[in-house]
């Protein structure tokens, strides 16, 4: 059984004390493909080191996270552009809009999001979207950039069924992680009405650990708990869900 974690911050300081052991636990659990989202330029060296250490398992993205869109965002976008021009990446991400922490940066978040979508199109790459309390704003930008070459993943999807279908209409897969195991997560109430061809698995580790680890540090091996929950909700063997969702990740990342 090959499991793909389409979104995991393996370079996070939360793993500094046992990164290799944590990655090995995930590999032992069947997770052999790790897609690594960018945050901002300070994390680029750690991401490149991860790829060097695990060349068969690590697949890097490049982008500017919306919570890192601040006064120097043009410099950060220049770093993204330089990196994309220098070497291959598998996606532009994670990018998007986050209004949970700071609403005052909305306008520059929109500009950064739009610019990075355009970069993804230039390099024929998928985008990986971060959306927090910003569905309307995200959809507004996606509508303005809608085209056949716009595609990717709506990372950590936590919206309604209607928002799920709208995301899918923009050629997005839904990234499903630990939230599906939460009692108040709500997506468990309708996710089995969404065709599995639109779903990919993720952990967003070290964040959003699934039950029974909720509130603790997440790690990629815990993706099996997400798989178990989806198997229960869809009434399909977890091996089949792992197969379908990994195939979906192939289609998005082209690897």
Look at residue 172 in the predicted model and tell me its pLDDT. Answer: 98
Locate 107 and state its tokens.
């306008």
Q: What is the DSSP letter of 172?
A: E
- Per CATH, which fold does 3-253 belong to? TIM Barrel (3.20.20)
Give the relative orientation of helices 135-145 and 106-122 as an angle to the nearest 10 degrees: 40
Q: List, for residues 179-189, the tens digit of each pLDDT value.
A: 999 988 899 99
Q: Is 212 exposed, middle or buried (0-12, 13-18, 19+ CB in 10 A)?
A: exposed
Q: List, for residues 146-202, the tens digit of each pLDDT value.
A: 999 999 999 999 999 999 999 999 999 999 999 999 988 899 999 999 999 999 999
Q: List, for residues 49-104, the tens digit of each pLDDT value.
A: 999 999 999 999 999 999 999 999 999 999 999 999 999 999 999 999 999 999 99
Cα–Cα distances in angstroms (integers) from residue 162 to residues 128, 166, 167, in the given order: 20, 6, 9
Residue 96 forms beta bridges with which residues?
A: 130
In this prediction, residue 18 has a pLDDT band, given cuts at 50, 70 and 90, of: very high
- Residue given tokens 């598998």 in the structure block: 90
In this prediction, residue 208 has a pLDDT band, given cuts at 50, 70 and 90, of: very high
Look at residue 185 in the predicted model and tell me its pLDDT. Answer: 86
Average pLDDT over residues 7-33: 97
E-strand ranges in the chain read 3-5, 31-36, 58-60, 92-98, 127-132, 152-154, 172-176, 199-201
Q: List, for residues 89-129, the tens digit of each pLDDT value.
A: 999 999 999 999 999 999 999 999 999 999 999 999 999 99
pTM above 0.75, yes or no: yes
Q: Is 158 exposed, middle or buried (0-12, 13-18, 19+ CB in 10 A)?
A: buried
Query: Number of C-alpha atoms within 13 angstroms, CB side, residue 1?
Result: 16
Look at residue 103 in the predicted model and tell me its pLDDT. Answer: 95
């Amino acid at each position: 059984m090959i499991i793909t974690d389409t979104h995991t911050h393996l370079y996070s300081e939360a793993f500094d004390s046992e990164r290799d052991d944590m990655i090995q636990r995930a590999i032992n659990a069947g997770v052999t493909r790790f897609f690594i989202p960018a945050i901002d330029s300070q994390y680029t060296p750690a991401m490149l080191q991860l790829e060097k250490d695990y060349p068969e398992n690590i697949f890097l993205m490049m982008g500017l996270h919306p919570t890192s869109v601040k006064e120097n965002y043009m410099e950060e976008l220049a770093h993204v552009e330089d990196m994309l021009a220098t070497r291959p990446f598998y996606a532009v991400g994670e990018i998007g809009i986050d209004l949970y922490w700071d609403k005052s940066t909305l306008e520059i978040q929109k500009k950064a999001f739009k610019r990075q979508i355009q970069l993804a199109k230039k390099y024929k790459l998928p985008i990986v979207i971060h959306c927090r309390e910003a569905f309307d704003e995200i959809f507004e930008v996606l509508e303005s950039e809608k085209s056949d070459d716009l595609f990717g993943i709506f990372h950590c999807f936590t919206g309604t069924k209607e928002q799920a279908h709208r995301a899918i209409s923009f050629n997005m897969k839904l990234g499903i992680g630990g939230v599906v195991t939460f009692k108040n997560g709500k997506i468990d109430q309708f996710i089995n009405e969404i065709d599995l061809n639109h779903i990919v698995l993720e952990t967003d580790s070290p964040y959003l650990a699934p039950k029974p680890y909720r509130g603790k540090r997440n790690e990629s091996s815990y993706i099996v708990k997400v798989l178990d929950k989806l198997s229960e909700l869809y009434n399909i063997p977890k091996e089949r869900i792992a197969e379908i969702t990994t195939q979906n990740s192939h289609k998005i990342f082209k690897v």
